[in-house]
Amino acid sequence: MRNQKSLRIWLARFFLTILAVIILLPMVQTFLYSFSSIPEMKNLMESRTIRNENRWMDLHLSPHMISLGQYEQILVKDEDILHYFTNSVLYAAAILLGQTLVIPALAFGLSKFKFRGRETIFFMIVMLMLLPFQVTMVPNVLTLRFLGLLDTVWAVILPMLFAPFFIFLIRQFMISLPDELLEASSIDGAGPFRSFLWIVLPVCRPVLGAAAALSFAESWNLVEQPLTYLTQAVHLMPLSTQFNQLTTRSNGYEFAGAALYILPALLIYLFFQEDILAGIQLTEMK
């Protein structure tokens, strides 16, 4: 009986490790490939078009020879990738900053105040959350053009500040907070603003961390918005739009670019890991 149980646990552990390896492999391989030499990568990428029954791609787990050539290319020689990378950082930072100012407050207003129409507003936010970007794309372009923001960084940043998903996420957490918390602080003479700042926000730390990480992930992977709003301002594009898979030409340093792009996301994840886990575990549909 005990043996059987420990066997089961070992089997499960084995299975989970395999799963974890599969989950991690794309990242790991991207990083490994980023250390191979440019000509080697060029050869590999150009062999993609070969459709020969008798030939396999020369695909290995790790590079033949460790080389920093790709990184030298993207960090020192070629300014483009670094330029787009800076754009990405700028977008992610600006969006994150803006969202912290707007979204928790809105979620607080929608969860801890009782007023008519509150549920309607929330319902609409949920509805907006469900719609893909393209639904409001055209009117949004026209609004942005009217505001003179099209082809500027604001066209990408501003709409993202009010992303319905994060309002939903934080509101769901806040509504589950016991009212007693606020009542206690009210008795101490604190108004809603102070309560929000000193009581609610600290309690919400996990979900805020989760929201921040998820929002970063989203703004780090912007594709449709820049492609739509920045058609005449290519120099403002984030790096995420530059990984074009549709070309057979290869510059040989795509993997260093990809690795460079994955790295911040990875660090953010590792940093906020516990928050994310805690944050999304507490989310429910109520």
Partner 1 sequence: MKKRTIKSFILCLLAVMLCVTACGTAFASAGDRTVLRFKAVNGTMETWIYAACKVGDDFCVVMQEGGNGTVILRYTDPNGEPERFTMKQEMPEYVENGEFMPGEELAIGDEQAPGEEPAAEEPVKEEPAAEEPAAEAGISELSWDDLMAWDESAEDSQDPMPIGADEGFNWDDADMYEENSTYTNTDTWFGWKGDIYALAVTQNWRANTVDSIKIQRAKLEDGQFTLEDTELPELDHESIMSEMSDGYFSLGEPFTAGNYLIGTVYAGMSNKVCMIDLETGAAEFLDLGEINSITLGPDNSLVYARYDWQSSKCTICRADMKGGNEETLTEFDLANGTISLCYDPDTDMLYYTANGELNRMPQMDPAKAEAVNDCPMNYGRIVPLKDGFVVIWDSSTILRRNTDPAARGGITLRVANYTWDNELMSETSYDMGEKRGDVSVVTRVMDSYRQASTVVQDMMNKDGTTDIYLLSFDGSDFRALRNRGYLADLSDNAQLVENVERMYPYIQDALKQDGKLVCIPVMTTGESFSVNYDLWKRTGGTEEELPKTWDQFFDWLETLPERFAGQDVKICEEEFEYFTSTVMNTLIESYQVWMERKGEDFKFNTPVLNRLLSRLNGLDADRIGIKERSEDDDDYGYVVSYSYYQENNTLLSAWAQLPLNRYNSQGGHPMALSFAEDEDPVLPVHLNVACVNPFSEHAAEAKEFLALALNNLALADQYAFYSDHTEPVHYSYYEENRENMQKWLDELQKNYDEADEGEEKINAEEALKQQKDMMEMEEKYSWVMSPETLERFQKNLPSLKVMSRNIYDDITQSVEEADWAKVAPIGGGEGSLEDALKFIDEKIQMIRMEGN
Partner 2 sequence: MYKKFRLAWPFLLPGLAGLLIFYGIPFVGGIWYSVTDGKVANEFVGLQNYISVWGNKMFQLGLGNTMELSLICAPLLFLLSFVLAAGLHRIRPAGAFFRSSVLMPYLMPSSAILLIWLLWFNYGGPVNRLIAAMGAARVDWLSGAQLRTPVVLLFLWKNLGFCVVIFMSALQSIPESLYEYATLEGASFMKQTFSITLPLVIPSAFLIAILSFVSAFRIFKEVYFIGGAYPDPPLYTLQNYMNNMYRDLNYQNVTTAAYIFAVIVFVLFGLLFLSQRQAMKRLNGGD
Q: Which of residues 204-263 bind partner 2 (CB under 8 A)?
A: 213-214, 216-217, 220-221, 223-224, 228, 240-241, 243-246, 254-255, 257-259, 261-262
- Per CB under 8 A, 190 contacts partner 2: no
**4 binding partner 1? (CB under 8 A):** no
- Locate 154 and state its tokens: 């604001």
68 binds, among partner 2, partner 1, none (CB under 5 to 8 A by kind): none
- Shortest approach of partner 1 to residue 255 CB, angstroms? 18
248 binds, among partner 2, partner 1, none (CB under 5 to 8 A by kind): partner 1
Does 101 interact with partner 2 (rule: CB under 8 A)? yes
Return d(Cα 267, Cα 102) in angstroms, integer: 25
Q: Is residue 248 near partner 1 by the rule CB under 8 A?
A: yes
User: 3-state secondary structure string, 47-84?
Assistant: HHHCCCCCCCCCCCCCCCCCCCHHHHHHHHHCHHHHHH
Picking from 218, 249, 257, 281, the residue whose alpha carbon sits closest to that of residue 48 is 249
Q: Does 247 bind partner 1 (CB under 8 A)?
A: yes
Site for partner 2 contains 187 (CB under 8 A): no
- Nearest residue to 283 via CA among 178, 175, 185: 175
Cβ proximity of 42 and 250 under 8 Å: yes
52 near partner 1, rule: CB under 8 A: no
The gap from C-alpha 58 to its chain's centroid, in whole angstroms, comes to 32
Query: Rule CB under 8 A: which residues touch partner 1?
Result: 49, 234, 245-249
